[in-house]
Structure formats: C-alpha cells, structure tokens
Amino acid sequence: MKKFKIASIPGDGIGTEVVPAATAVLKTVSEIHGGLSFEFTEFPYSCEYYLEHGVMMPEDGLERLKDFDSIFLGAVGNSKLVSDHTSLWGLLIKIRREFEQQINIRPAKVLRGIKSPLVNPKDFDLIVVRENSEGEYSEVGGRILRGEDEISIQNNIFSRKGTERAMRYAFDLASKRNKHVTSATKSNGIVHTMPFWDEVFNDVATDYADIQTDSQHIDALAAFFVTRPNKFDVIVASNLFGDILTDIGAAIMGSVGIAPAANINVNGKYPSMFEPVHGSAPDIIGKGIANPIGQIWTAKMMLDHMGEEEIGTVLLDVVESVTNDGIVTPDIGGKHTTTEVTEEIISRLKARA
C-alpha cells in the first residue's frame, strides 16, 4: 500500500470550498484504488489566520510543511482583511520561493462538453511552462522617495541558471509531446532582459535537435492564444508573461475555474505544491457555485507527479464524462452547485471501481 502525506492549505475565499471538494474526490480515488492511501493534514494558513496571529503562517510554518509528499493549496488573498501584498508574499510566494518550486506547469486544453468562448477553438492542447521564482517577480525594489517625487521600482532578475532551468524543462516536456517549444519573448528593443532570454533559449535549443522552436513576442502570442491556440504545444514564459498567458489559456478553455497548475520543486529537496490557476474569487464566495474542476484537475496533476498517472488519467476521464453531460457550474453555463458537480464525479468514480 502506497501512502502519501498531503499538507492541505485551503487558504482564502473559494479555496475553502474547492479544496474540501477535491479532497473528497481524492479520498474516493484511494477507496477505489486498493493500493493507494492519503493522509491529509490541514493547515489553517490564510488571511483570517493573519488577523488572529499577525502572520500568514507561523515562524516554523515551512518546517512543518517540508516533510509532506505534496502541498495541496486552494487560493490565497482576501484584500478586505489583509493587503494582497502581505498575504501573497507571506504565504503563497514564500512557499514557492523557499521550497524552490521554480517551475509552474499550466496545461490548457478543451474538455469534453465545455464550450470554449472561441468561435473556432479546434482541439487545442498546450502547456505553459512558467518560470516561477524570479523574472518580473523579483524581491529587489520597493517605494523610494515620498511625496510628489515618490517612485516605485522593481528590478527584473533573470539568472542564466533560472532561465535555462525553465527552458530545459519545457524542451524535456516537448520531447514527450508534440516536439515543439514556443518562447514567449519581448525582445523587440525595449525590455533589456529579453535579448538575454532569447540567447539562452537559442543555446538550450541546440541540445534538442529534434524539437522545433519558435519565438513570439508576448503581445502577439496573447493574440495567437485566441486566434490559433491549436498551433501550440509547449510554451516557455517568464513569471509575469506566464501568469498572464495562463489566465488566457484558462479563458479559452471556458473558465478560469477549470484551469489546473503545479509548482514543481525540480531538485526533489522539498515538496511540490499543487494549486489551481484561479484565485479566491471574492465575488462568488459562499454562493456554493465555485467550479471545483480546477482544483480536481490540479489533484490529478498531483497524482501524476507522485507517480500515479494511471489513476490520474481515470480521474480526468470521469471529470470529462461529467462535463460532457452538462453537470457543471454557472461559470461554464451550467446550473449546478460545487457540491452537485463534486458528488457526481465521486459517484461516477465509484462506478468505475
């Protein structure tokens, strides 16, 4: 019997609705799969935790998380209680950075029965590999001067190591897929870091003779995601470019509520963290209509990462059988609740046992 220890952090807003839903699904997965079990330990780290303790997580929070096989997170952010700057640097970004989760993998493809807003979506199936630890999200900068001369700066940091790591990850992934990598760049003269990004991309590409490549400026690429997403396989992008592209990827699938993501610790020293692309969705908190599929598909990515691809594939197939029958939440045109969608997935999983 394989036993996985999972640290669960529902976090804020709809994180507290979709994490229990996906956890119930994972428990069913272990019931139907005799050789697999999960031990979940829940951590209450969130903006409410901050109000009580003055910190997003205790001083030894990372120590408490570090021996788990994976971290399963919902969303962080409730700007009515705590500024996003404080909550994100204090929890989400802290875990990504300290646990060296330098790669963020974000797939986007059409699920059966979910209508894309695109007129002609064709069958796209792409993965954005987002550099997850540096770039535009650097810690160097801040507000300087005050008064009418006030300015705020943030230096972009692109290390050769970090850039190359993301690119190699993308090429390795493409080797197992359709053998094409697109680089998201902006090297047409303005952004100083991007000619460097291109240079590293070209250097790495020479090691992968069988992989086709192209480079697209991020603005044009954003448009291509809308006009011809089926032309892409793997896209490698910097932290901010990848962030923006993956919300577009989510939107063309039908909703940000279904898009999954995985923050990967590549060197295996720390747990990886699995959290969907979407945030805490303050506009729908407590309505019972949060789409649980982003979190459930994210659970599938966690299963894949822990070596359980077979059952992960069954899980996504069951999700698609449910979406194909129109049992979906309002964000994708349905009238069902979070609970109804989740229960349907659970009962169809049991039927597969």
With respect to Mn ion, which residue has the nearer C-beta, 30 or 295? Answer: 295
Distance (Å, whole) CA 75 – CA 13: 7
Does 243 sit near Mn ion (CB under 5 A)? yes
For residues 199 and 233, is the Cβ–Cβ distance under 8 A? no
Give residue for tokens 């892409």.
232
Q: Which residue of 279, 315, 322, 345 would you call a contact of ligand NAD, by CB under 6 A? A: 279
State the Rg of the chain over Cα: 20
Closest CA to 127 of 79, 181, 85: 181
Letter for the amino acid at 285?
A: I
Q: Total residues contacting ligand NAD (rule CB under 6 A)?
A: 23
Question: In this structure, what are the phi and psi dihedrals at residue 244, rounded to the nearest 5 degrees?
Answer: -70, -45
With respect to ligand IPM, which residue has the nearer C-beta, 131 or 344? Answer: 131
Q: Which residue of 108, 129, 277, 328 would you call a contact of ligand IPM, by CB under 6 A? A: 277
Q: Which residue of 281, 303, 311, 346 would you call a contact of ligand NAD, by CB under 6 A? A: 281
Q: Total residues contacting Mn ion (rule CB under 5 A)?
A: 1
Closest CB 337 distance from ligand NAD, rounded Å: 11
> Between the CA of residue 9 and those of 23, 29, 47, 207, 266, what are the distances in Å?
11, 20, 12, 39, 21
With respect to ligand NAD, which residue has the nearer C-beta, 174 or 296? Answer: 296
Binding site partner of 340, from ligand NAD, ligand IPM, Mn ion, none, Cβ cut-off 5-8 A by kind = none
With respect to ligand IPM, which residue has the nearer C-beta, 182 or 238? Answer: 238
**By CB under 6 A, what part of segment 51-110 binds ligand IPM?**
88, 92
List the end-to-end C-alpha distance of the chain, in Å, as a whole number.
17
Closest CB 338 distance from ligand NAD, rounded Å: 8
Binding segment for ligand NAD (CB under 6 A), chosen from 76-84, 131-139, 200-208, 305-313, is: 76-84
Work out the number of other CB atoms within 10 angstroms of the CB of residue 53. Answer: 12
Distance (Å, whole) CA 282 – CA 326: 25
**By CB under 6 A, what part of segment 160-179 binds ligand NAD?**
none
205: exposed, middle or buried (Cβ count in 10 Å: 0-12, 13-18, 19+): middle
Does 79 sit near ligand NAD (CB under 6 A)? yes
Residue 343: HSE in the Cβ half-sphere, 13 Å Cα cutoff: 5
Contact track, ligand NAD, 199-218, x by CB under 6 A:
--------------------
Closest CA to 213 of 187, 180, 175: 180
For residues 280 and 88, is the Cβ–Cβ distance under 8 A? no
Q: Which residue of 105, 184, 290, 345 would you call a contact of ligand NAD, by CB under 6 A? A: 290
Residues facing residue 262 across a β-bridge: 105, 274
Binding site partner of 339, from ligand IPM, Mn ion, ligand NAD, none, Cβ cut-off 5-8 A by kind = none
Closest CB 88 distance from ligand IPM, rounded Å: 5
Residues at the site binding ligand IPM, with contacts judged by CB under 6 A: 88, 92, 243, 277, 279
Residues at the site binding ligand NAD, with contacts judged by CB under 6 A: 14, 18, 75-77, 79, 84, 88, 92, 256-257, 275, 278-284, 290-291, 294, 331
